[in-house]
Structure 1
């Protein structure tokens, strides 16, 4: 399979509406489709690895629609090493963190009536240029990558325009806080191998490694999004983490999973091997005002979601249960009757 065709899992599924203006911004940074595109970002998956002052983010975006070319912008707090990630990474993470399925029995005609105490919900359960410094440019598979620093958001946006990035005017203001804090800007062009072939599906994962004194996942650029944004963040660290700083304080992320990994997953995902997963949807992305910050939790308690499934044993199973019940009641009644006769 050609690499650009892997731009199918996080860069697109199908346009929700016809004639809708393209949206920019993904949950971590700015997604910039070409001017004629009808593509829009609706979510992303990210793995954040952290171990003693070094952080690694592996990112893949989900986009609806198609675009002939596009780009995204990712701020990071220090100089970043940029590489291609593992195509199967997020499939493994989803497999590890999916809910545990527990089957509960029910008997005809009580199926799905709740009489037998079965529920179909999910619950938690414990478990073990000018003003711009271009630092580097490179080609990685379908990506053209530039690492930038700049004196202002306007200077960086002008550089992006000059170099073929479809940057909206609002991007400059959203970049300014990062540049004020001396963050580096990673600008990534997405282009298929064959000219004129639209991209659709998911982007191949991209891995960024940089120094950081804390676990951070950049989110502030997403305030420029015009549609709801869903992000799932997997954090691999020596310990369980809490989402201590929230992009929107009024929107709490859902804990999906917490557990220490073992076996072949441990070295592949992190040497420290404790995985914590959160998911959240921002229906009003303009309210985003901060990055995700993660800190060590008070304990390393494990957590796993549980989905209960009702299974009907059918008519004959019910008859057998009822017959057994009748025999039991009949035997008890006979015993009581004998005792009453003796007393008389």
Structure 2
């Protein structure tokens, strides 16, 4: 009982109740909320590891609200190996790539006057029936997840299979899946339903890992075209060099560089590829998404970390500031009053 509630508290993939009104929200797949919960995905984190011939994607989503049933669809360019990822992956990545805090000393009363303080903020550098046209390649259970790997001759055949097997399918799914099916990508469908009637799914989903052969670094995004709300995606890329986002889902929206640098002491995150590059992007209009993310080696391995400046009083200079500052402020005030008096006198004469 307690174990399931703990798991349910951090899960929130798409609702799959038949007959519900779907609401797209996941950047790389479909998120469908059941009619009662109206849960939505508002953020997504992905760690992409690439060794030159194989890619691993570790994915977790942030869910607002709760859902009693869940499912998620992920296209990948080749046959995938699916497993559970390590917990706390993204908490650790967020900590490693956080802005560096630079403390600047000053002393009262000048701390808010821009004297000796510098800038405030900145940054530097046995499966169910397959049905016609569908190849059910594998079905497995991973913890609370039911995972199915599918191939298909058409997007319509795949969406029909999903409908028959309990997935709520939005009208736009077949259209958005068509490019992936045409390019012979595999479709990974992940489903979860609480074992308890009172169970619910919300919060941050535990990481799920997909590994597949690939000659390039790609992060699927085209299914997000059907999203109806703003999407924020953060992608961490671990490879042998710094990478640039060379192909954008929406060419009019540039991702923000969060971090670039060597992490040789974090093999559990980066594997054998020790250079980490992190990007974040928000899509206010997901319908303009037309492509996947692709990353290629940057011209150089220049490191980058954001910087946040914080101003603090210097302990012993504060006393001097008080001794010098109060008379100075009194003098400035007296001078201003005297100047106004002179002006008034001049006007009267």
**SS across alignment from 2:163:** helix
- Please say if residues 260 and 273 of structure 1, whose CA atoms lie closer than 8 Å, have aligned partners that are also in contact: yes
**Which digits, 9 at most, give the CA deviation of each residue in 1:30-71, with x for residues without a partner?**
112334331011111000000021000000011111100011
- The total of aligned residue pairs comes to 312
Match 1:245 to one of 244, 247, 254: 247
**Which digits, 9 at most, give the CA deviation of each residue in 1:260-317, with x for residues without a partner?**
1122x13542212110000000010000000000000001111111100111347414
**Which digits, 9 at most, give the CA deviation of each residue in 1:80-127, with x for residues without a partner?**
0000000111111111100100001222222233233433323113xx
Residue aligning to 1:294: 295
**SS across alignment from 1:87:** coil
1:279 matched to 2:280: yes
TM-score (norm 2): 0.84
1:40 matched to 2:40: yes
TM-score (norm 1): 0.85
Structure 2 CA distance for aligned equivalents of residues 248 and 70 of structure 1? 28
Structure 1 CA distance for aligned equivalents of residues 228 and 5 of structure 2? 27
- Please say if residues 257 and 303 of structure 1, whose CA atoms lie closer than 8 Å, have aligned partners that are also in contact: yes
- Please say if residues 134 and 149 of structure 1, whose CA atoms lie closer than 8 Å, have aligned partners that are also in contact: yes
Bigger mean CA offset, 283-292 vs 266-275 = 266-275
Residue aligning to 1:137: 139
**SS across alignment from 2:124:** strand
1:105 matched to 2:105: yes
Q: Which structure 1 segments of 5+ residues have no match?
A: 13-20, 324-344
Deviation at 1:251, TM superposition (A): 0.5
- Please say if residues 8 and 200 of structure 2, whose CA atoms lie closer than 8 Å, have aligned partners that are also in contact: no
Residue aligning to 1:318: 321
Residue aligning to 1:50: 50
1:258 matched to 2:269: no
Bigger mean CA offset, 310-319 vs 98-107 = 310-319
- Please say if residues 260 and 278 of structure 2, whose CA atoms lie closer than 8 Å, have aligned partners that are also in contact: yes
Question: Cα 1:260–1:7, aligned 2, differ >3 Å: closer, same or farther?
Answer: farther
- Please say if residues 8 and 199 of structure 2, whose CA atoms lie closer than 8 Å, have aligned partners that are also in contact: no
- Please say if residues 222 and 288 of structure 1, whose CA atoms lie closer than 8 Å, have aligned partners that are also in contact: yes
Residue aligning to 2:191: 189
Residue aligning to 1:206: 208
Q: Which structure 2 segments of 5+ residues have no match?
A: 14-20, 126-130, 327-349
- Please say if residues 57 and 210 of structure 2, whose CA atoms lie closer than 8 Å, have aligned partners that are also in contact: yes
Residue aligning to 1:17: none
Root mean square deviation of aligned Cα: 2.1
Structure 1 CA distance for aligned equivalents of residues 195 and 154 of structure 2? 33
**SS across alignment from 2:31:** strand
**SS across alignment from 2:41:** strand
